[in-house]
Amino acid sequence: MMRVGYVYFAACALTWTTQALGQEKEIQNPLAGDQSAIKEGSSLFRANCSPCHGLNAGGGGRGPDLRAGLWVHGASDAAIFRTISQGVPGTEMPANPFEDSEVWALVAYLRSVSAGTKTPVAGDSAQGERLFFGKAGCAQCHMVKGRGGRLGPDLTRVGAARSVEYLTESIREPDKELSLAMSDPNNHYGIPAEYDTVTAVTKEGERVIGVAKNEDAFSLQLLGQDDKLHLFLKKDLRDVIHERRSLMPAYTESRLSNQELQHLLAYLSRQRGE
Amino acid sequence: MKMATIRVTLAVAGLMTAAVIGRSQVSYNRILKAAEEPQNWLTYSGDYKSWRYSKLEQINTSNAGNLALQWAFQSADLGQFETTPLEIDGVLYGTGQDNRAFALDARTGRAIWRYQRRLPDKVQACCGMVNRGFAALGEHLFMATLDGHVMSLDMQTGNVIWDVEAADYRQAYVFTVAPLLVKDKIIVGIAGGEYGVRGFIDAYYADSGKRAWRFYTVPGPGEPGHETWAGDSWKTGGAPAWITGSYDPELNLIYWPTGNPSPSNNGLERGGDNLYSNSMLALDADTGKLKWHYQFTPHDLHDYDSTQIPVLLDAPWQGQPRKLLVQANRNGFLYVLDRTNGKFLSAKPFFTRLNWAKEIGSDGRPVVVPGSEPTLEGTRTCPGALGATNWFSPSYSPETGLLYVAAAEECDVFTNAPQKYHEGHDFMGSVYVPATGEKTWGALRAFDPFTGEKKWEFKYFTPPNGGSLSTAGGVVFAGDSDGNFLALDARTGKDLWHIQIGAAVYSSPMTYALDGRQYVVIPAGGTLFAFALP
């Protein structure tokens, strides 16, 4: 009985999915290319989406770059409509109570700024993976699917969340924009922590350098370069220095050639958590 | 038999030590003199002058370090727990998120009743499904709800006495305010400045729920001030009134502040000063008629709501005794007004990097810095949209003569863009983001309220969302956004005691005394915490 029931359920699910996909293919944005809709979509985007996806849809601390043509949750008009209105379970993307015309205006706006279909990076992903875990030393601080270091952001889904341009900038000029870290879900207006270099100076003059996982007026939770957690009370410290730079070295051309960069980008852009 | 006898004896002994709470009678006269019965907390800000100050002195600068948790009450919803509970004769009455309310045994924190007015779908509250508390009169409590209702509950049971609809929540009219009881009426102000509502302040008869008066904070055609709105922009002009005002019984005036014009970031279609947005209103308590107004930020483009608590002080001003009104405003200036006539007396900046205005001129109008208006690509402006301070309460101590203000140090990049109005949808005319690469922070600051001179500050790691309480024990209590609840020396700002309570504080502390013990209460997350000396 169990088996029959399971098969029946699976068959229904398959039928439903096929129908849903079929319908989604058929529905097109009635406002596609409409200049006034694009303008309204732009305003709606700024007011509602930009806090996570960036002012001009280029990606923010929490939301992916929407100009890169990645469309991880479906690239058709109908799929983007569904992503906006219903959200994406299992991610930070919430459902949004827009009217249908507003959602279509947003889709029209996103199409107007998006690069269209994504072109794959020219490099060799396998060589990129070897660089990541080997010579380039990325895995000393970054983790992919449970392998690697802890000091920097986990990159398991970075290919779904960030454009190649963003990744390039992060590799070549990591200080330009610090990556965002933990945010407090109970602090509605709070700004997330950053992957900033923090130096704690003890009363004895010892300097512990690392990334602040958290901090307040009285304490500091620091993940040190020594791969250890240092849980300080500020009363025991002489100073806490926020250096406002990344702990990651800049991978200039002398450290990582353009060709190696392409391999690394090919590897990273394929990391979609799948 | 012997066992039974012992049980009876214990039961009698128990009765003798139990607190027996009769039917409380909170008369208007008691609220008028609320400061004289500091064992209770009878109105949102502690008294009509909105000092959020208590004469209780059991907890003082020498023993505050021994404070310990007495009880904790879990409301239900995590997030922004903004209530200031009332304490009346041994019972605490508070409101929670999502239209919840409760009554607690003030000694144990045990619930006596819980109430929730079921929320309809699609309630639009810009900044959390919050509520800031009750007002009380006689045996009844008064609450204003997220779905635009005003209601009266029975103190002992939470039973609904009356329930009236003030405005349509589907058009984004919501209440978050703690009502103010004045004589036989309760006063409430609407929220919804992010959705293009037309703001108002209402008075309802406490006994029947019948509306006594309404004052629209955006004047209609033919009314004075209507000319300060271009075209039809007044219809969606905002100017909400979502924080509890103050009251001067001698002048019979209610002082009620208002919020931003809508859309907040884009002024292109609402040319003019946009009265009475971002103003202090003095209304006749009986009729709701406007006695005077003062507008802090005319034609605001930065969401500088003036919904901060007006603190009423009687003090000499340039040698003459005056009835003053002091307000630390979200726009970064600390104002002193004459509260008999609204005359502007002074404004001093209390935000270090303020850059939207050079000063407030002698005529009371800001001297706006050219180029500080939002643009399509964004303009960095200080203070940011959440303001140099916000709705959370300041406190004033008559012992130190200092005003304690929780201040935020954040600059934002403001953008603007035209936006079509859709009923019940957000209407902000674009957005703001924190300026990149700048560390934000905050502080509790102590000011001379008349000169604006800063006497001390205690630094917070992040911008605060919680206010302060000062006491005759020489202690200032406050909560920060990193989950710390603190007791500071009111004269020096020295940290006497602090405890991590696990969530950002979105409220201001209150205090009461019972059985000879002083309690201090603060909500955070979904929990109400009560502290006292061991």
Q: What is the dihedral of CA B414, B420, B425, B430, to 10 degrees?
A: -10
Indicate the domain borders of chain A: 2-113, 125-174+249-269
Neighboring chain B residues of A85 at a CB cutoff of 8 Å: none
From CA B53, how far away is CA B46, in angstroms rounded?
7
Which residue from A minimizes the CA distance to B129?
Answer: A188
Which residue from A minimizes the CA distance to B433?
Answer: A51
Question: What integer is the mean pLDDT of B298-314?
Answer: 97
Which band of pLDDT confidence, cut at 50, 70 and 90, is reported for residue A68?
confident
Partner-chain residue, chosen from A39, A40, A47, that has the shortest CB–CB distance to B430 = A47
pLDDT of amino acid A216? 96
Pick the CATH number of A2-113 from 3.30.420.310, 1.10.1040.10, 1.10.760.10, 3.40.50.300: 1.10.760.10
Listing DSSP states for B386-400 in one string gives T-SS-SSPPEEETTT
From CA A196, how far away is CA B436, in angstroms rounded?
13
Listing DSSP states for B165-212 in one string gives E-S-GGGT-B--PPPEEETTEEEEE-B-TTTT-B-EEEEEETTT--EE
Question: What integer is the mean pLDDT of B70-81?
Answer: 94
Is the pLDDT at B8 greater than 50? The verdict is: no
Partner-chain residue, chosen from B79, B458, B484, that has the shortest CB–CB distance to A216 = B484
Is the pLDDT at A62 greater than 90? The verdict is: no
Partner-chain residue, chosen from A47, A177, A189, that has the shortest CB–CB distance to B426 = A47
Which band of pLDDT confidence, cut at 50, 70 and 90, is reported for residue A19?
very low
Pick the CATH number of B24-532 from 2.40.290.10, 2.60.40.290, 2.140.10.10, 3.40.50.300: 2.140.10.10
B430 in contact with chain A, both atoms CB, cutoff 8 A: yes
ipTM of the complex: 0.88
B484 in contact with chain A, both atoms CB, cutoff 8 A: yes
B97 in contact with chain A, both atoms CB, cutoff 8 A: no
CA distance A158 to chain B (A): 22
Question: Can you give the length of chain B in residues?
Answer: 534
Which band of pLDDT confidence, cut at 50, 70 and 90, is reported for residue B437?
confident
Q: Which residues contact A3 (CB under 8 A, 6 or more apart)?
A: none
Q: How far is CA A263 from CA A125, A128, A131, A245, A270, in A?
A: 6, 4, 8, 26, 11
β-bridge partners, B403 = B396, B447
Which band of pLDDT confidence, cut at 50, 70 and 90, is reported for residue B178?
very high
Indicate the domain borders of chain B: 24-532
pLDDT of amino acid B496? 98
From CA B412, how far away is CA B265, in angstroms rounded?
12
Is the pLDDT at A2 greater than 80? The verdict is: no
From CA B35, how far away is CA B50, in angstroms rounded?
10
From CA A130, how far away is CA A267, in angstroms rounded?
9
Which band of pLDDT confidence, cut at 50, 70 and 90, is reported for residue A117?
low
Which band of pLDDT confidence, cut at 50, 70 and 90, is reported for residue A13?
very low
The percent of residues above 90 in pLDDT, for chain A, comes to 56
Domains A2-113 and A125-174+249-269 share a fold: yes
Q: Flag if B462 and A191 touch (Cβ within 8 Å).
A: yes
Token pair belonging to B518: 């002083």
Task: Single out the catalytic residue among B303, B412, B480, B489.
Answer: B303
Predicted confidence (pLDDT) per residue in B228-259, tens digit? 999 999 999 999 999 999 999 999 999 999 99
Across chain B, how many H-helices and E-strands are there?
2, 38
B360 in contact with chain A, both atoms CB, cutoff 8 A: no
A235 in contact with chain B, both atoms CB, cutoff 8 A: no
B411 in contact with chain A, both atoms CB, cutoff 8 A: no
Q: Is the Cβ–Cβ distance between B218 and B198 less than 8 Å?
A: yes
CA distance B440 to chain A (A): 8
pLDDT of amino acid A164? 85
Predicted confidence (pLDDT) per residue in A170-207, tens digit? 999 999 888 888 888 888 888 888 899 999 999 999 99
φ/ψ of B332, rounded to 5, equals 100, 0
Q: Flag if A216 and B461 touch (Cβ within 8 Å).
A: yes
Is the pLDDT at A10 greater than 50? The verdict is: no
Which band of pLDDT confidence, cut at 50, 70 and 90, is reported for residue B426?
confident
Q: Flag if A99 and B425 touch (Cβ within 8 Å).
A: yes
Which band of pLDDT confidence, cut at 50, 70 and 90, is reported for residue B6?
very low
Neighboring chain A residues of B461 at a CB cutoff of 8 Å: 215-217
Neighboring chain A residues of B415 at a CB cutoff of 8 Å: 46, 55
From CA B438, how far away is CA B415, in angstroms rounded?
18
Q: Is the Cβ–Cβ distance between B257 and B312 less than 8 Å?
A: no
Which band of pLDDT confidence, cut at 50, 70 and 90, is reported for residue A15?
very low
From CA A220, how far away is CA A216, in angstroms rounded?
7
A189 in contact with chain B, both atoms CB, cutoff 8 A: yes
CA nearest neighbour of A183 among A171, A195, A172, A174: A195
Partner-chain residue, chosen from A187, A218, A242, that has the shortest CB–CB distance to B484 = A218
Neighboring chain A residues of B462 at a CB cutoff of 8 Å: 187, 190-191, 216
Is the pLDDT at A8 greater than 80? The verdict is: no
From CA B89, how far away is CA B194, in angstroms rounded?
39
Q: Please name the fold of domain A125-174+249-269.
A: Cytochrome Bc1 Complex; Chain D, domain 2 (1.10.760)
Between strands B357-360 and B366-368, the pairing is antiparallel
Listing DSSP states for B477-514 in one string gives EEE-TTSEEEEEETTT--EEEEEE-SS---S--EEEEE
More confident residue, A116 or A217: A217
Partner-chain residue, chosen from A99, A184, A186, that has the shortest CB–CB distance to B422 = A99
Q: Is the Cβ–Cβ distance between B410 and B383 less than 8 Å?
A: yes
Residue carrying structure tokens 């504080």:
B505
From CA B298, how far away is CA A265, in angstroms rounded?
51
Which residue from B minimizes the CA distance to A183?
Answer: B482
The percent of residues above 70 in pLDDT, for chain A, comes to 88
Which residue from B minimizes the CA distance to A102?
Answer: B422
- Residue B68 corresponds to which amino acid? A
pLDDT of amino acid B429? 83
B527 in contact with chain A, both atoms CB, cutoff 8 A: no
Q: Which residues contact B15 (CB under 8 A, 6 or more apart)?
A: none
Neighboring chain B residues of A187 at a CB cutoff of 8 Å: 462, 465, 481, 503-504
Q: Flag if B481 and A190 touch (Cβ within 8 Å).
A: yes
Rounded to the nearest integer, the mean pLDDT of chain B is 94
Q: Flag if A55 and B431 touch (Cβ within 8 Å).
A: yes
From CA B84, how far away is CA B179, in angstroms rounded?
11
CA distance A242 to chain B (A): 9
Size of interface A-B (CB pairs under 8 A): 92
From CA B434, how far away is CA B428, in angstroms rounded?
17
Interface of A with B in 27-56 (CB under 8 A): 39-40, 42-44, 46-48, 50-51, 55
From CA A77, how far away is CA A63, in angstroms rounded?
19
B463 in contact with chain A, both atoms CB, cutoff 8 A: yes
Question: Can you give the length of chain A in residues?
Answer: 274
Partner-chain residue, chosen from A188, A191, A242, that has the shortest CB–CB distance to B127 = A188
Neighboring chain B residues of A185 at a CB cutoff of 8 Å: 78
Q: Flag if B419 and A44 touch (Cβ within 8 Å).
A: yes
B387 in contact with chain A, both atoms CB, cutoff 8 A: no
Three-state DSSP class for B437?
A: coil
pLDDT of amino acid A119? 66
pLDDT of amino acid B247? 98
CA nearest neighbour of B183 among B212, B145, B154, B157: B212
CA distance A263 to chain B (A): 30
Partner-chain residue, chosen from B386, B430, B498, that has the shortest CB–CB distance to A189 = B386
pLDDT of amino acid A263? 97
Is the pLDDT at B22 greater than 80? The verdict is: no
Between strands B68-74 and B53-54, the pairing is unpaired
Which band of pLDDT confidence, cut at 50, 70 and 90, is reported for residue B13?
very low
In the annotation, is B154 catalytic? no
Q: Which residues contact A257 (CB under 8 A, 6 or more apart)?
A: none
pLDDT of amino acid B424? 86
Partner-chain residue, chosen from B418, B458, B503, that has the shortest CB–CB distance to A43 = B418
B contact test, residue of A43, A45, A85, A234 with most B CBs within 10 A: A43
A244 in contact with chain B, both atoms CB, cutoff 8 A: yes
What is the rounded end-to-end Cα distance, in angstroms, of chain A?
33
Predicted confidence (pLDDT) per residue in B132-174, tens digit? 999 999 999 999 999 999 999 999 999 999 999 999 999 999 9
Question: What integer is the mean pLDDT of A234-254?
Answer: 96
Is the pLDDT at B21 greater than 50? The verdict is: yes
Predicted confidence (pLDDT) per residue in B184-228, tens digit? 999 999 999 999 999 999 999 999 999 999 999 999 999 999 999
More confident residue, A19 or B49: B49
Which band of pLDDT confidence, cut at 50, 70 and 90, is reported for residue A120?
confident
Which residue from A minimizes the CA distance to B481?
Answer: A187
Question: What integer is the mean pLDDT of A115-124?
Answer: 74
Which residue from A minimizes the CA distance to B442?
Answer: A217
Question: What integer is the mean pLDDT of B448-465?
Answer: 97
From CA B314, how far away is CA B337, in angstroms rounded?
11
Q: Which residues contact A246 (CB under 8 A, 6 or more apart)?
A: A174, A175, A178, A179, A195, A196, A197
* Helix (H) / strand (E) containing B521: strand B517-524
Tell me, what DSSP letter sits at residue A85?
H
Which band of pLDDT confidence, cut at 50, 70 and 90, is reported for residue B389?
very high
pLDDT of amino acid B395? 98
* Helix (H) / strand (E) containing A36: helix A35-44
Predicted confidence (pLDDT) per residue in B85-112, tens digit? 999 999 999 999 999 999 999 999 999 9
Q: Which residues contact A38 (CB under 8 A, 6 or more apart)?
A: A105, A108, A109, A112
pLDDT of amino acid B211? 98
pLDDT of amino acid A23? 52
Which residue from A minimizes the CA distance to B427?
Answer: A47
Name which of A128-137, B172-181, B414-423 the model is least confident about: B414-423
From CA B96, how far away is CA B158, in angstroms rounded?
14
From CA B5, how far away is CA A190, in angstroms rounded?
60
β-bridge partners, B442 = B408, B460
Predicted confidence (pLDDT) per residue in B319-366, tens digit? 999 999 999 999 999 999 999 999 999 999 999 899 999 999 999 999
Task: Return the number of other C-beta atoms located less than 10 Å from residue B157's C-beta.
Answer: 11
Neighboring chain A residues of B420 at a CB cutoff of 8 Å: 40, 43
pLDDT of amino acid A151? 96
Across chain A, how many H-helices and E-strands are there?
9, 7
Partner-chain residue, chosen from A51, A98, A217, that has the shortest CB–CB distance to B460 = A217
Which residue from A minimizes the CA distance to B423?
Answer: A99
Neighboring chain B residues of A218 at a CB cutoff of 8 Å: 484, 498, 500
Q: Which residues contact B29 (CB under 8 A, 6 or more apart)?
A: none
Listing DSSP states for B270-321 in one string gives S-S--TTTTEEEEEETTT--EEEEEESSTT-SS-----SPPEEEEEEETTEE
From CA B518, how far away is CA A50, in angstroms rounded?
47
Q: Flag if B386 and A215 touch (Cβ within 8 Å).
A: no
Is the pLDDT at B51 greater than 50? The verdict is: yes
How buried is B55 (Cβ within 10 angstroms: 0-12 exposed, 13-18 middle, 19+ buried)? middle
More confident residue, A153 or B79: A153
From CA B439, how far away is CA B445, in angstroms rounded?
19
Question: What integer is the mean pLDDT of A103-121?
Answer: 83
Q: How far is CA B325 from CA B45, B51, B163, B347, in A?
A: 15, 11, 34, 12
β-bridge partners, B348 = B334
Which residue from A minimizes the CA distance to B428?
Answer: A47
